[in-house]
């Protein structure tokens, strides 16, 4: 045991007595942050090589002589099976790691059988559509019989190849992670510790080169109050020192955020594009005609900006979800109620009606693609997965790409271990980055780079841009500067609410200001969205979704991981998009206008990170999203 006052990230949550806290330290060879597909790819590739060459001195520990390599992975969620996402993936890299993969071995997995792209008309008439779309809708309705419009949906007769995942797999993220993790743990070569959030990287110093050099990670303090002040039973988060820290903590991970704050983004790079993905896993009625392997991509409803999906797993399970993007500029955008309206669209409801909600979850997606790629390597660290900008925003795929980056890093690490070279930025760049740059995912990421450029001009503009980029393999694309996520949130004015008279909007806003019905919900009803008729089985309140579906949990003794830097600013904020977009209704407005956060409801989706319209602290918004334990607890995601 030794005391530690090592420099951590400046905004990492440390108690007021940080400089005198005696922290336990531990030395490992490789410290891994987060367990998802990227880390799965990294650890699978590493342990494969290790298993094939067990006597290779490369796999001997340098920090504990005589012991094998000490590789420890820390995951903040209660279990590695609670990741959320319905996935359709080409699975090229995953299959290369598991050549004999039988989808039947992984619960909820099935090969892709059939793919459709549907444009959904609005049967209610409440969504806000441009003139172009309204004209198109009129034509479609008028020529419906000829064009095959059915259940207010038009199936595109032809879709570009880049949207298809032929030969791919439908997966549940939770079940896939659990399957990969159990195989890794069975090797006995690596350790994966769930329920262990990492609060910050440990930088070597605050000046010169040390400023950007990572020496390990700090685990979150426990036994603290909401503000992080030690209580009885305080347990200081341990410092884990490692020559290499592998950062795979996703798009909103605390360590990734700290690295971006300390190092900045590479010139011209920015993470301005986001989406909140929210989905349900529904058990279909017994007489369903939907077949496993069916994939639907939808657009047009419940708002033109909201894309949706439906993937049919075996055993009558279906993942259905929507993406609410940052380019939907309405400050009162929201997800859960839109999802409930989405599943009730006639084209979906004919199959989902009488179904049962099995699970529910939400996560932020980093949709900047190549534009949002941070520094991939530094002295002592490397970044993989979605947080490293690996998601392809043309094909809308991320899992296989994340897995690939993990494989690439593992190959690089083995190369460096064998050459007995240190994990410097130069060496990691020459091995990991070089592999990444030379690979297909890099080429595809370049093609996809500007695919989303047009969406700020509306759906039609965006789709044209996407088609242009996709069909020319990125050679042609729409230009444009993408504003920051904060700038994309339109300032709220009761006089400018589409579809609602100013007087009514002001009354609703005033009611919300004193803790009445949340504004986003009230405005949706005022615009003509019908109230949801709850049935207690599929259509449930948002809180019931947390309890029944996500089974959200939070161990006591951790500090709040969502922190409002200047609460006075929140009280004055007219937008409060964080309240509207909070997946778990964990962020609410009280009667006095103050903002409150309830840790027990948070699913760690990270939406609050990019849904604050105000940046009082330079580039950083008024909301800090930090590492925390708990959240979703269902394995059927």
Backbone conformation region of residue 406, classed left if phi is above 0, alpha if psi is from -120 to 50, else beta:
alpha
**Sole window of 177-185, 200-208, 264-272, 339-347 interacting with another protein (rule: CB under 8 A):** 177-185
When binding is defined by CB under 8 A, the residue of 4, 44, 47, 178 that contacts another protein is 178
Nearer to another protein, 96 or 553 (CB): 553
Stretch of 318-326, 470-478, 493-501, 546-554 lying at the interface with another protein (CB under 8 A):
546-554
- For residue 364, the SS3 value is strand
Shortest Å, Cβ 19 to another protein? 22
Cβ partners under 8 Å of residue 239, min gap 6: 4, 6, 23, 24, 25, 26, 202, 216, 217, 218, 219
Residue 546 beta carbon to another protein: minimum distance, rounded to whole angstroms: 10
Interface with another protein, residue 238, by CB under 8 A: yes
Q: Does the footprint of another protein cover residue 636 (CB under 8 A)?
A: yes
Q: Kindly state whether residue 136 participates in binding another protein, applying the rule CB under 8 A.
A: no
HSE (side-chain half, CA atoms, 13 Å) at 24: 9
- For another protein, give the closer residue by CB, 546 or 607: 546
* Interface of this chain with another protein, residues 282 to 341, rule: CB under 8 A: none
Q: Which parts of 494-523 interact with another protein (CB under 8 A)?
A: 515
Which residues ranging from 610 to 629 are in contact with another protein (CB under 8 A)? 629
x/- binding map, residues 188-217, to another protein, per CB under 8 A? Answer: x--xxxxxx---------------------
Alpha carbon distance 620, 485 (integer Å): 11
Q: Which is nearer to another protein, 235 or 463 (CB)?
A: 235
What mask of x and - would describe binding to another protein in positions 581 to 610, judged by CB under 8 A? ---------x--------------------
| Closer CB to another protein, 6 or 460, in the complex | 6
**Measured between alpha carbons, how far is 29 from 241 in angstroms, rounded to an integer?**
8
* β-bridge pairing 317-325 and 307-312: antiparallel
> Tokens in use for 223?
């036994």
Distances, alpha carbon 610 to alpha carbons 197, 370, 509, 623, in Å:
21, 18, 22, 9
Contacts (Cβ under 8 Å, ≥6 apart) of 446: 370, 474
| DSSP letter assigned to residue 303 | S
Specify whether the CB–CB gap between 546 and 552 falls below 8 A: yes
223, 457, 458, 593: which one contacts another protein (CB under 8 A)? 223
The phi, psi pair for 548, rounded to 5°, reads -80, -45
Question: Could you give the CA distance from residue 601 to residue 551 in angstroms, rounded to a whole number?
Answer: 10
Cα 199 to Cα 625: distance, rounded to the nearest angstrom = 11
Nearest approach in angstroms of CB 516 to another protein is 11
Q: Residue 633 interacts with another protein (CB under 8 A)?
A: yes
Residue 458 interacting with another protein (CB under 8 A):
no
Q: Tokens standing for 264? A: 């900045």
182 touching another protein, by CB under 8 A: yes
Is 81 a binder of another protein (CB under 8 A)?
Answer: yes
Of the two residues 181 and 243, which places its CB atom closer to another protein in the complex? 181
Q: What share of the chain is helix, strand, coil (3-state, %, to 5)?
A: 35, 20, 45
Chain mean position to CA 627: 14
Smallest separation (angstroms) from another protein to the CB of 200: 15
Count CB atoms within 10 A of the CB of residue 142: 11
99-103, Cβ contacts within 8 angstroms, sequence gap of 24 or more:
103/169
CB of 328: closest distance to another protein in angstroms? 27
Residue 608, burial from CB neighbour count under 10 angstroms (0-12, 13-18, 19+) = buried
**Residue 233 binding another protein, by CB under 8 A:** yes
Q: Whose Cβ is closer to another protein: residue 164's or residue 551's?
A: 551
Min dist. Cβ of residue 153 to another protein (A): 30
Contacts with another protein, 37-76, as mask; x by CB under 8 A: -----------------------------------x-x--
CA 154/CA 109 separation, integer angstroms: 28
Which residues between 22 and 41 bind another protein (CB under 8 A)?
A: 24, 26
Crossing angle between the packed helical segments 131-142 and 459-471, to the nearest 10 degrees: 80
Q: In angstroms, what is the minimal distance from the CB of 245 to another protein?
A: 15
- Pick the closer one to another protein by CB: 199 or 213: 199
Peptide bond connecting 302 to the previous residue in cis, omega within 30 degrees of 0: yes
**Number of residues in contact with another protein under rule CB under 8 A:** 48
The reply to whether 222 sits near another protein by the rule CB under 8 A is yes
Residue ranges that bind another protein, judged by CB under 8 A: 24, 26, 72, 74, 78-79, 81, 107, 175, 178, 181-182, 185-186, 188, 191-196, 219, 222-223, 233, 235, 238, 240, 358-359, 515, 536, 541, 543-544, 547-548, 551, 553, 555-557, 590, 629, 633-636
């Amino acid at each position: 045991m030794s005391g530690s006052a090592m420099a951590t990230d400046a905004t990492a949550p440390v108690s007021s007595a940080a400089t005198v806290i005696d922290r336990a330290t531990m030395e490992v060879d490789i410290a891994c942050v987060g367990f998802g597909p990227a880390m799965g790819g990294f650890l699978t590739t590493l342990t494969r090589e290790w298993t094939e060459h067990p006597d290779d001195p490369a796999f001997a520990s340098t920090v504990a002589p005589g012991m094998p390599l000490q590789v420890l992975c820390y995951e903040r969620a209660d279990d590695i099976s609670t990741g959320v996402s319905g996935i359709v993936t080409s699975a090229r890299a995953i299959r290369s790691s598991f050549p004999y993969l039988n989808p039947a071995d992984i619960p909820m997995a099935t090969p892709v059988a059939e793919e459709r792209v549907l444009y959904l008309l609005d049967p209610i008439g409440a969504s806000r559509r441009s003139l172009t779309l309204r004209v198109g809708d009129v034509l479609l309705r008028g020529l419906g019989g000829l064009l095959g419009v059915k259940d207010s949906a038009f199936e595109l007769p032809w879709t570009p190849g880049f949207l298809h995942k032929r030969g791919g797999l439908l997966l549940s993220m939770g079940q896939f992670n659990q399957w990969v993790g159990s195989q890794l743990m069975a090797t006995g070569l690596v350790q994966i510790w769930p329920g262990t959030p990492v609060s910050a990287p440990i930088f070597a110093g605050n000046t010169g080169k040390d400023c950007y050099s990572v020496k390990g990670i700090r685990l979150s303090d426990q036994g603290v109050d909401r503000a992080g002040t030690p209580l009885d039973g305080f347990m200081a988060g341990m410092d884990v020192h490692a020559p290499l820290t592998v950062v795979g903590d996703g798009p909103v991970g605390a360590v990734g955020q700290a690295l971006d704050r300390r190092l900045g983004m590479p010139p011209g790079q920015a993470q301005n594009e986001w989406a909140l993905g929210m989905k349900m896993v529904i058990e279909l009625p017994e007489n369903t005609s939907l077949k496993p392997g069916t994939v639907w991509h939808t657009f047009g409803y419940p708002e033109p900006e909201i894309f949706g999906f439906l993937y049919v797993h075996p055993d009558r399970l279906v993942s259905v979800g929507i993406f609410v993007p940052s380019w939907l500029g309405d400050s009162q955008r929201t997800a859960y109620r839109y999802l409930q309206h989405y599943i009730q669209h006639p084209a979906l409801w004919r199959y989902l009606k009488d179904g049962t909600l099995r699970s529910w979850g939400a996560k932020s997606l980093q949709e900047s693609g190549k534009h949002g790629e941070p520094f991939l390597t530094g002295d002592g660290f490397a970044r993989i997965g979605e947080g490293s900008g690996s998601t392809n925003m043309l094909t809308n795929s991320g899992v296989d790409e994340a897995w690939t980056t993990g494989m690439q890093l593992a190959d690089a690490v083995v190369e460096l271990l064998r050459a007995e070279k240190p994990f410097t930025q130069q060496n990691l760049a020459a091995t990991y980055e070089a592999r990444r740059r030379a690979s297909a995912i890099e080429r595809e990421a370049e093609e996809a780079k500007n695919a989303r450029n047009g969406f700020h001009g509306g759906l039609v503009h965006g789709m044209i841009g996407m088609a242009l980029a996709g069909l020319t393999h990125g050679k042609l694309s729409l230009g444009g500067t993408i504003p920051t996520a904060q700038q994309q949130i339109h300032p709220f004015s009761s006089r400018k609410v589409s579809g609602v008279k100013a007087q009514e909007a002001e009354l609703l806003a005033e009611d919300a200001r004193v803790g009445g019905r949340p504004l986003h919900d009230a405005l949706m009803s005022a615009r003509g969205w019908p109230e949801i008729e709850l049935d207690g089985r599929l259509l449930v309140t948002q809180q019931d979704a947390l309890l029944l579906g996500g089974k959200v949990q939070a161990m006591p003794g951790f500090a709040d991981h969502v922190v409002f830097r200047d609460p006075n600013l929140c009280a004055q904020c007219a937008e409060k998009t964080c309240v509207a977009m909070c997946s778990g209704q964990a962020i609410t407005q009280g009667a006095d206008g103050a903002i409150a956060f309830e840790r027990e409801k948070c699913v760690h989706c990270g939406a609050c990170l990019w849904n604050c319209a105000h940046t009082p602290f330079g580039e950083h918004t008024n909301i800090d999203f930090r590492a925390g334990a708990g959240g979703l607890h269902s394995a059927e995601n």
